[in-house]
Amino acid sequence: MQLIAANVDTAFVVTSCNQDFNVARLERYVALAFEAEVTPVMRSTKPDLCKDVGSFVQEASNISQQVLALALNALGDEPQTKLRDWCKSRQTIAFLESSGVGKSTLANALSDEQSVETTVIREDGAKGRHTTTRRQLHFLQNGCAVLDTPGTRELQLSDAQDGIAKVSDDIAALANRCRFSDCTHETEPGCAIQNAVKRGDITPDRLARWNKLVADERFNSASLAERKSDHKALHKMIRAVQKQPKVRQ
């Protein structure tokens, strides 16, 4: 477990309109925000690098009806106008996602200064470099706090069942209507989720991502619980040994 931020009101999940766009990764960030009771807002940057910006925004919007998705150019005036509703006095916002998506550029645009170092992305695969190596807190003139974070190489969820359920609230609701309480949503008769897939209400790709997200969360949560149990057992054994009387020869 690694702490990303604390006392955050809004998490801007930032992604680029290029090859690095990944729906499964966005779902994890949104689930993380929901679990932390933080308002997630998805931002698609670098619209000038693609011909069909609307398709990226639509894919991001399809992740959850509870999350707003917008495209903006971080190099212009759009950050200050489109993000105005969240960047208010006494509010704390954080930028999350992988490297090279424009988080630091957004932070500079909001603060009206180039105090955060930025670099260009690599042409092979549109991957970004880790320019931001530490968390940096910037204060806007109106009293809003902006947290720029290093790009995340990997994001695994644990103890995030509620967050995952909120991301896919329609699938979670269908799961409660399956005939069997331990339904794996694969071949069981009376599976409400598989029936929804057959009707076209849920795409097979989305169901596969949901199954993987739920399975990963359960595995990670179980692994952490096992580690904590082993850690407690080890400390208990050490204390028991320390309490034993010393034998002198």
* CATH architecture group of domain 168-243: Orthogonal Bundle (1.10)
Beta bridge partners of residue 139, listed in sequence order: 145
Using one digit for the tens of pLDDT, what is the confidence trace for 146-176? 888 876 777 888 888 899 999 989 998 999 9
Using one digit for the tens of pLDDT, what is the confidence trace for 68-121? 988 887 777 777 788 888 989 999 998 887 665 566 777 777 876 555 544 444
pLDDT at 197: 94
pLDDT at 101: 56
Q: How confident is the model at residue 233 (pLDDT cuts 50, 70, 90)?
A: low
- Starting at the edge strand found earlier in the chain, the sheet holding 10-16 runs 68-71, 39-45, 10-16, 92-96, 145-148, 136-139
d(CA 1, CA 228) in angstroms, rounded, equals 12
Cβ pair 183, 191 in contact under 8 A: yes
Alpha helices, DSSP H, located in 160-203:
161-167, 169-175, 192-199
Q: For 99, how many CA atoms within 13 A lie in the half-sphere containing its CB?
A: 19
pLDDT at 241: 60
Which of 43-47, 58-62, 152-156, 174-178 holds the top average pLDDT?
174-178
pLDDT at 30: 93
Q: Do domains 10-148 and 168-243 have the same CATH topology?
A: no
Which of 12-16, 27-31, 225-229 holds the top average pLDDT?
27-31
Cβ pair 137, 115 in contact under 8 A: no
**Mean pLDDT, residues 175-199 taken together:** 91
Nearest to 139 by CA among 147, 149, 151: 147
Task: Break the chain into its structural domains and give their ranges.
Answer: 10-148, 168-243
d(CA 213, CA 66) in angstroms, rounded, equals 19
- In this prediction the pTM is 0.75
Alpha helices, DSSP H, located in the chain:
23-35, 53-61, 78-82, 103-111, 161-167, 169-175, 192-199, 204-243
CATH assignment of 10-148? 3.40.50.300
pLDDT at 46: 72
